[in-house]
Amino acid sequence: MTNITSETKRVEYSAEKVYQFITDFNNFESLLPQDKVENFKADGDTCSFRIKGMTD
């Protein structure tokens, strides 16, 4: 099983800016580990991707 972890970080932006960022799935690609994710596709409301090494 693949375990994906990340560090905790302090965000220096307003709650409104953070909300605007995380509610647009186009932004999620930059949050995912590029060495573990492939075929990322997004529009404003949905996203899909494969985790490398996982079967369909």
Mean pLDDT computed over 13-42: 93
Domain ranges of the chain: 22-51
- Per-residue pLDDT band for 1 (boundaries 50, 70, 90) equals confident
Q: What digits encode the pLDDT tens for the residues 28-48?
A: 999 999 999 999 999 878 999
With vertex at residue 20, the alpha carbon angle to CA 33 and CA 49, rounded to the nearest 5 degrees, is 30
- What sign has the CA pseudo-torsion 14, 15, 19, 22? positive
